Chains A and B, each alone.
Chain A
Amino acid sequence: MHCAVEMLGIVKRFPGVIANDHIDFQLLPGEVHTLLGENGAGKSTLMQILAGLYHPDAGEIAINGSPAVIHSPREAIRAGIGMVYQHFMLVRRHTVLENVILGLRRFGILLDYREAAREIERISIEYGLQIDPGAVVWDLSVGEQQRVEIVKMLLRRVKVLILDEPTAVLTPREAEGLFSTVRTLAGRGTAVVFISHKLREVMAVSDRITILRRGKNAGTIRKDETDERDLARRMVGREVLEEFDRTEVEAGGPVLTIRDLRAFDNRRHPALKGVSLEVRRGEIVGMAGISGNGQKELEEVLTGLREPAGGSVNLGGEEIAGREPDTIIAGGLGCIPEDRQGTGSAPGLGYRDNIILKSCRHPPLHRGIRLDYRKAAEIADRLRREYDIKVPSLFAPVRLLSGGNLQKVILARELSARPRFLLAVHPTRGLDIGAAGYVRNQLAELKRQGAAILLISEDLDELAGLSDRIAVIYEGRITGVLPAGKADRERLSLLMTGQKSETGSGGVVE
């Protein structure tokens, strides 16, 4: 039986780094094959070569036994290989339907929208992927957008589907749905390549697993030959102990007080319907909730990017609701945003410039009208070493960085400003164990230093491990706040789906 895909001796270099170092990779038809590895190990690059986005510097590719040279994503799709990327490639101003049929000839010159909608509907039902063809993409949550990407590929009848960190943006329930979709696909003979860090999911869904380490293939094994601990060890080449550092710190007075906050979303529907919450000095308040229940709007109001419709937000005695971002930043608020490439960084600018994005306006960088670039380079270099950020140079555009490295840049920038309040939104999404653990330790350390932290996350284990209290947001309201000790998955899931907490105090600050 031919391999669905065979890649031999693939080499790919970028300025300053070898992303793929003579990698061999075989994919069997109808299998679910996971590519596992730390950030920067080369997984995305390898698959992007297969999907036609990059050309290998050396090596060969064979599809179904015959040699193939793939020059572009279009050729890849024609060869039956489709990829859903970690950073979506959707036209934000267009509707779901328009995005899904983009580039297809199938629906004729006059674009038979109705037929297209029917096909989308069919796929949606067949694979259990809920989407609304008429919705405009920039309105959708990240999870919904991902579903659109998957449907896009399914419509093109691909035989190999590559999913790059797909569950990074899905809730636990949606992830389950994705797994059954994947299993259905595999059952029908479609091979699925899963790029992931989440060991539990890797064990749940894969047939075989290939580990990449520093650009090299570190082995391919069947699922039944390994376990999570073994995988973790192979990934980093050493024993890894998962440990959240949660020290008990005496919580101080309130730093951030949100009272009855209301706001609309981009569709002018109410997104926050009276949120009240308090975050104290030296504590981490986690916020659990399914993506799309007001977290995005909350982040935007707190950082000054969205005008609230009512209520108040008090930071260290100052009212910041409705103020400009620079006032809020000056008041001591730091943010690790959900949208790393959009709001969190300037993708075309270099590492040095991104580090000083906020600090550029103050001494020591800002003197008179001058910007002290030399000092900026010093700071950037120091932070690079401190946070172990892998950049080829101070000036290479950060859009070329891997997800984990980009997050480290943002982290370095925000934490070095010593905020008194930090808003961290999905900070470990898409990061491997090593990087995620690092981020969590940084958050714990920041808490030890007396900052107040609001952690919005979908990773319930992370929330349980780091938070002192966990608030649950549902449809724009806080349905409950539980002390960490009392927050188990069951209770949280109930609150996340709208059931009020047992104490019946949903929405009230405690």
Chain B
Amino acid sequence: MRLLSLITLEKQLEPGRGARAAVTVVSIALALVLSGLVILAIGVNPVAAYGALFSGAFGTLYGLSETLVKTTPLILTGLAVALGLKMRLWNIGAEGQFVIGFLAATLIGLGFPGLPGFLLLPLMGAAAVLAGGLWAAAAGLLKARLGVSEIITTLLLNWVAILFSQYFAYGPLKGADGFPYSPAFCPGACLPTLGWGRVNAGIFLALAAAVILHLFLKHTLWGFEIRVIGDSPKAARAAGMGIERNIVLVLALAGGLAGLGGFVEVSGIEHRLSPHTGLGYGYTAILIAWLARSQPLLVILVAFLFGGLYTGGEMIQVGMGVPVAVIRILQGAILFFLLAGDYLLNFRIRWRVGSGE
């Protein structure tokens, strides 16, 4: 392929060591530059904006607490996508699984207002996990039995979940005042806070989930099977591993994780159902899982950084008039450059002076 007559891209079999890491870093850098240009176009100094974003998200105790608040659901949805990726399954449905978990937890929370917290909360959590799990398992079943692409099914199920949730917000769960917001949770349905801003026990759940998933993948037979199926379904099948069973199970578990994210969000922060069109955590999760190379422990780190992005972004919107949409641009740009970079890892650039072979 000739771009200009000066540089040629040619295929190479072996990307150099460290090239992967370089691609990640450069992608982020380029994305920052691109978004910086957009910020500049609005009339704000990008360096100042980024500085404010960073210090807002990580520089103050309050900012840090808000970052952790955002990190919690991002870890869980990030894990939901990463787990699928380990088996080459694209779980685009983390958003919908999150929402359905959110809804299920709400229904239980509002349905049993008398129960004490230590009974009600686990019940809500279990309901959320179950709901998210079933939601994803449906897509898994279609893939396993009929070969229907999970990219499509999980994506479409997102809308179903969102609309379903909105139906409840506008309908059966509508508050007495007529607005599409459910009544607030009783204290028993709320995750205990830790005395630091809005940070609540959900963060421990998220961290535990990541660690448990990591250990699971690393040490169990099931983790091994997932790895084998992800690399070579044919060899896995010939070796006696159950492909179809695993597709459903892995997606179900992934959905459960995202559903747990929904529980943690409604029970720790929102305390009520509202007519959101989703919060975007499920889609950001794809980016997080990709950046973290599907490693659960790295998901924690990347989710934390993205949590900071969300928080900082909100702050500079208020403080400097930079629309929060710029953060979305930044995220999109990161994904774009990352994918391009990963692809270009397959090539080498040759500089040529003059033409000819």
Contacts and interface: CB of A to CB of B under 8 A. Distances in A.
Most B C-beta atoms less than 10 A away, residue of A71, A303, A330: A71
Contact of B240 (A53, A324, A342): A324
Nearest to A78: B357
B59 to A, nearest CB: 42
Contacts of A72: 10-11
B288 to A, nearest CB: 23
Interface string A297-309: 0000001010000
A370 B11 CA distance: 41
Nearest to B239: A357
Given A54-B13, A75-B357, A371-B223, A349 B238 contact: no
B232 A347 contact: yes
A345 B235 contact: yes
Interface string A13-34: 0000000000000000000000
B228 A349 contact: yes
A344 interface: yes
B271 to A, nearest CB: 37
A347 B234 CA distance: 11
Contacts of B350: 71
A275 to B, nearest CB: 21
A324 B228 CA distance: 18
Contact of A325 (B224, B227, B239): B239
Contacts of B219: 370-371, 373
A71 B240 contact: no
Contacts of B357: 68, 75, 78-79
A369 interface: yes
Contacts of B12: 55
Nearest to A413: B239
B227 A353 contact: yes
A347 to B, nearest CB: 6
Nearest to A326: B240
Most A C-beta atoms less than 10 A away, residue of B12, B13, B232: B232
Given A54-B13, A325-B240, A357 B235 contact: yes
Interface stretch (A209-217, A358-366, A499-507): A358-366
Interface in A294-326: 303, 305, 324-326
Contacts of A329: 239-240
B237 A348 contact: no
Interface in B216-274: 219-225, 227-228, 231-232, 234-242
A53 B13 contact: yes
A122 B241 CA distance: 47
Nearest to B235: A346
A305 B232 contact: no
A324 B88 CA distance: 23
Contacts of B235: 342-346, 357
B222 A357 contact: no
Contacts of A78: 357
A74 B10 CA distance: 9
B13 A371 contact: no
Given A54-B13, A71-B350, A371-B224, A305 B238 contact: yes
B220 A349 contact: no
A396 to B, nearest CB: 12
Contacts of B232: 342, 345-349
Most B C-beta atoms less than 10 A away, residue of A305, A335, A349: A349
Contact of B221 (A75, A326, A328, A369): A369
Interface string B154-180: 000000000000000000000000000
Q: How large is the interface on B (under 10, 10 to 19, 20 to 34, 35 or more residues)?
A: 20 to 34
Interface in B313-357: 350, 357
A360 B224 CA distance: 8
Contacts of A371: 219-221, 223-224
Contacts of A358: 239-240
A94 to B, nearest CB: 19
A337 interface: yes
Nearest to A365: B221
A288 B13 CA distance: 38
A171 B124 CA distance: 66
A461 B238 CA distance: 29
Interface string B1-32: 00000001011110000000000000000000
Contacts of B8: 71
Interface in A57-92: 68, 71-75, 78-79
A63 to B, nearest CB: 10
Contacts of A305: 237-238
Nearest to A354: B235
Nearest to B223: A371
Given A53-B13, A54-B13, A325 B231 contact: no
Contacts of A330: 240
Most B C-beta atoms less than 10 A away, residue of A78, A328, A360: A360
A353 B224 contact: yes
Contacts of A373: 219
B221 A360 contact: yes
B162 to A, nearest CB: 36
Contacts of B10: 71-72, 74-75
Nearest to B220: A369
A339 B232 CA distance: 13
Most A C-beta atoms less than 10 A away, residue of B10, B227, B234, B238: B238
A82 to B, nearest CB: 16
Contacts of A369: 220-222
Nearest to A70: B357
B238 A348 contact: no
A329 B241 CA distance: 11
Given A53-B13, A72-B11, A358-B240, A347 B231 contact: yes
Contacts of A75: 10, 357
A370 B13 contact: no
B231 A346 contact: yes
Nearest to A376: B224
A353 B224 CA distance: 8
A353 B232 CA distance: 12
A261 to B, nearest CB: 19
Nearest to A337: B238
B221 A325 contact: no
A2 to B, nearest CB: 18
Contacts of A343: 234-235, 238
A349 B234 contact: no
Contacts of A326: 240-242
B211 to A, nearest CB: 16
Nearest to B14: A54
A326 B242 CA distance: 9
Contacts of B240: 324-330, 358, 361
Contacts of A348: 231-232
Nearest to B241: A326
A243 B225 CA distance: 41
Contacts of B231: 346-349
Most A C-beta atoms less than 10 A away, residue of B8, B220, B228, B236: B228
Nearest to B350: A71
A370 B223 CA distance: 9
- Across the A-B interface, the 10 shortest Cβ-Cβ residue pairs: A326-B240, A346-B232, A348-B231, A357-B239, A72-B10, A325-B240, A346-B235, A343-B238, A346-B231, A371-B221
Interface of B: 8, 10-13, 219-225, 227-228, 231-232, 234-242, 350, 357
21 contacts: A68-B357, A71-B10, A71-B350, A305-B237, A324-B242, A329-B239, A342-B232, A342-B234, A343-B238, A344-B235, A346-B228, A346-B232, A346-B235, A349-B228, A357-B235, A358-B239, A360-B221, A361-B221, A366-B221, A369-B221, A370-B219
Given A325-B239, A329-B240, A357-B236, 8 more contacts: A68-B357, A71-B350, A78-B357, A303-B238, A343-B235, A356-B224, A369-B220, A371-B223
